[in-house]
Structure 1
Amino acid sequence: MSTGSAPGAYERVRQRVGSIAVGRVTVESRSDAAALALWSLVLLPYGVGDTGLTTVVLELGGFETSPVAQAFVNAAGYAGLVVQKALALGILWGIWRFYPTVGGMSRHPWRLVVPAIAAVRGAHLVLLHLEHVSILV
């Protein structure tokens, strides 16, 4: 059974019995570096940028279009935005952490989809908020 051309792929598969890993399965360092870079891109634009710029837009007279975020703002003000974003990031991390194996391939490369999509969405939200700030100022 082949799981890819990465060095040691056969050994990693051979060490597994069913879904239980017999030995420590190490992930290639380039995948770890990619995951770290992607999660950094998630935390900066999505976590900090979106939350911070949302508060700026609200202070300038704009409004929150997401009903979920609006419920958090109504319940706890700007602190609610932080709680909502922390919950969203926690859910994303949980999906990333426990993402199942796809087919016979290693689960790790497929997991990078989760932070990649969140990073792209975060960059989109930052650009959208910057446009709103420029209109409201």
Structure 2
Amino acid sequence: MTTQLPDIFETRQAKALLAALQAGDLKQARKIEDHLLAEGSHSPEDRELLADQLRASMLFRAYVDASAAGDEVMCLLFQKLLKETCSERTVQATLMSGLLYSGLQQGSLPAEDHDRLTEWMNGADVGEEMKARLASITRAP
């Protein structure tokens, strides 16, 4: 069952940002990003961290959508943008979040992915709730 996202400012802006990125309109994407960050940040450092996380989330989502559509050219573009415009730490956290989400949806992960996620969580500052979620995912052979 899919839950409908709330029709609020942040959700509408996130969808608009994704649409701008998918259309290749980086000027519009930057404008939307700046507006969202002005609303959500409290300091310049906070703004930069939020910008990195927002950009990574949107690019990763666009990559997943392009992959599901079988569009290899767009996959490569979004992957390149993700690596070039986001910090390595944020890219890693975004990819691990994707693995966690996938594992929760499917109930299991291939052993290699489960081990990567476990190793990352053990070295990252994640709470007990996240570790409990990982424990609920079966490690498939």
Superposed pair shares fold, TM > 0.5: no
Q: Which has the higher contact order (CA 8 A, sep 6+)?
A: 1
Structure with more helix by fraction: 2
Structure number with bigger Rg = 1
TM-score w.r.t. the length of structure 1 is 0.28
